Amino acid sequence: MEQLPQQLINGIWQGAALALFAMGYTLVFGVLDIINLAHGATYMWGAFFAFVCITRLDWPLWAAIPAAMIGAGLLAVVLDRLAFKPLRTLTSGGLVLWVGFIVLLLGLIGAWSPGLKWTLTLSGAAIMLGGIVQDYAAIRPLRVRHVPHLAPMISSIGASIILISLAQGIFGAQVSRFPPDIFPSKPYTLPGNAVIAPIQLLVLGIALALMVVLHLLIARTQMGRAIRGIAWSERTARLLGINVDLVVAQTFFLSGALAGAAGVLLGLAFNRLDPFMGNEVELAGLTVIIVGGMGSIGGAAVAAFLVGMLRVLSVGYIDSSFRDAFVFALLILVLLVRPSGIFGRGSSVRA
């Protein structure tokens, strides 16, 4: 059994990465009141984007991490347009987007000749782009819809399944690994006989930096104010001249980029990627955002360290098979005792 100082160190860096995931998760909930169950799949894709950049394109790590964040952010925006936006308003651009998506899927999955495969894939992507542009430029929506609360959740489960299948089709179901030499591996020794690997320090450093950046974006910029404004009242936000769809897209981008960052960082730290890696973190992330108070970014950050620590300690002192059991025990306890979360009050975004 390992020493306590070592457990605490592991809890801290893993908690920091979990915080990135959870802050993105809770941000979308705070703004749109939906639980995006494809957030875990976005996290997984973030890790694979970096994997592609490093192993296929030979990019250095420092370029692969932001690229993965941007990729995952854009993926989340497309996800919103495909799975959530059509449930809110129906526009001609939305229909075009769906047509493009089906063409793209056909291209990616079908057994075509290479030429046809590329033509289908690229024209699908182009049609999708056209649909998105058309949507933002639209002056009048075709119809505003009011769908039942459960619809976005189900729709995001569907999106998650598509994303996982795509990853399986492209990368296989087995575990993929980064090349071992991309980062120095000699650990630093800390007081109390604990050690921390350079990669774990990197995870902690990047995660803390991103938490500060997110806080500043939400608390200090016009975009952050607009995000919080929409969370409170979409109607009022519109009267202020806020393009709600655009701000929702910005929200999804931030959310996806954070999930992507968490995906790369944890993928690097454990050096294992697979198409199902999002499922586990999604459970932990859900616990974090409930414990932190749905919609509270600060609450999610604090709760992530709590849950990260709980996971590490239950593995270290009890048994690794109990890790999720303790997380769920905490979840149920919080739901029973204080359903609004330890730090939460309502469901609007707070920095």
Partner 1 sequence: MLSVNDIYTYYGAIAALQGVTFEVPRGSVVALVGANGAGKSTTLNTISGLVSPRKGTITFEGRDVTGWRADRVTALGLVQVPEGRQILAPLSVEENLLLGAYTRRDSEIEQDLENIYKLFPRLEERRNQIAGSLSGGEQQMLAIGRALMARPKLLMLDEPSLGLAPLIVQEVFRVIGELKEQGATILLVEQNARKALQVADYAYVLEGGRIVQQGLASELRSDPRIVEAYLGRRA
| Site residues, partner 1 (CB under 8 A) | 138-141, 222, 225-226, 228-229, 232-233, 235-244, 348, 350
Least Å from the CB of residue 295 to partner 1: 10
Nearest to 265 by CA among 219, 308, 320: 308
Taking the complex as a whole, the smallest distance from the CB of residue 142 to partner 1 amounts, in Å, to 11
Work out the number of other CB atoms within 10 angstroms of the CB of residue 336: 8
351 CB neighbour count, 10 Å cutoff: 15
Nearer to partner 1, 32 or 277 (CB): 32
CB closer to partner 1 out of 117 and 225:
225
Q: Which is nearer to partner 1, 239 or 337 (CB)?
A: 239
- Residue placing its CB nearer to partner 1 in the complex, 138 or 197: 138
CA-to-CA separations, 98 to 82, 83, 125, 265, 336, in angstroms, rounded:
7, 10, 11, 32, 41
Closest approach of partner 1 to the CB of residue 81, in Å: 17
Shortest Å distance, C-beta 296 to partner 1: 11
Could you tell me where the beta strands, DSSP code E, fall in 114-273?
Answer: 143-144, 188-189, 195-196
Total H helices, total E strands in the chain: 14, 4
Q: How far is the CB of 343 from partner 1 (least distance, A)?
A: 15
> In whole angstroms, how close is the CB of 299 to partner 1 at the nearest point?
14
Q: How far is the CB of 145 from partner 1 (least distance, A)?
A: 14
Degrees to nearest 5, angle at CA 142 with 136 and 146: 100
Report the nearest approach of partner 1 to the CB of residue 63 (Å).
32
Q: Toward partner 1, which CB reaches closer, 92 or 119?
A: 92
Q: First-to-last CA distance in the chain?
A: 39
Instruction: Give the contacts of 304 (CB within 8 A, at least 6 positions apart).
Output: 15, 16, 18, 19, 21, 22, 23, 288, 292
Tokens of 195: 């050690």
Query: How many whole angstroms separate alpha carbon 26 and alpha carbon 23?
Result: 5
Q: Confirm if 136 and 245 have CB atoms less than 8 A apart.
A: yes
Are 343 and 30 in contact by the 8 Å Cβ rule? The answer is: no
Compare residues 81 and 311 and give the one whose CB is closer to partner 1.
Answer: 81
Which DSSP state fits 240? T
C-beta closer to partner 1: residue 56 or 146 = 146
Task: Report d(CA 73, CA 260) in Å as an integer.
Answer: 7
CA 349 vs. chain centroid, Å, equals: 17
- Least separation in angstroms between residue 237's CB and partner 1 is 8
Comparing CB distances to partner 1, the nearer of 15 and 229 is 229
* Closest to partner 1 by CB, 271 or 347: 347
